[in-house]
């Protein structure tokens, strides 16, 4: 596709349920990033992939959060046993490599935990 694609665009779930958020980066982009944007807040780094490996997971807030990337392309962010404080917009970005400064962001997944 022409840009970074994220699905679903909106997700409403009940507290305690697991959710999966998907990111399709721009074709050929080897670096992929997940960020979280809470209401009225700046963006918070979660995890970074170079290819299929994640050299930096330092932003994941708890062990309920995990992410994987397969085939150097699609990435999935999984949140287990969701809590209300997990409600936020989850943004994915990709770039041509870790040394490439231009990040392209998707439009995000708005997650609401009731």
Interface residues with other proteins (CB under 8 A) are 4, 31, 33, 40-45, 48, 50, 55-56, 91, 93, 95, 98-103, 105-108
Distance CA 47, CA 111 (A): 18
Strand order in the sheet with 75-79: 5-7, 19-24, 75-79, 65-69
User: Structure tokens of 110?
Assistant: 């708005």
CB 66 within 8 A of CB 60: yes
Give the residue with the Cβ less far from other proteins, 74 or 80.
74
Give the residue with the Cβ less far from other proteins, 33 or 79.
33
In angstroms, give the least distance from the CB of 102 to other proteins.
6
Give the residue with the Cβ less far from other proteins, 44 or 80.
44
């Amino acid at each position: 596709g022409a840009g970074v694609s994220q699905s679903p665009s909106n997700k409403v779930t009940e507290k305690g349920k697991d959710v999966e958020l998907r990111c399709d980066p721009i074709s050929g982009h080897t670096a992929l990033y997940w960020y979280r944007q809470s209401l009225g807040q700046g963006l918070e780094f979660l995890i970074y992939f170079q290819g299929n490996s994640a050299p930096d997971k330092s932003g994941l807030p708890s062990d309920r959060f995990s992410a994987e990337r397969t085939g150097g392309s699609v990435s999935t962010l999984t949140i287990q046993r969701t809590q209300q404080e997990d409600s936020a917009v989850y943004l994915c970005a990709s770039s041509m490599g870790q040394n490439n400064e231009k990040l392209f962001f998707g439009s995000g997944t708005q997650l609401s935990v009731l």
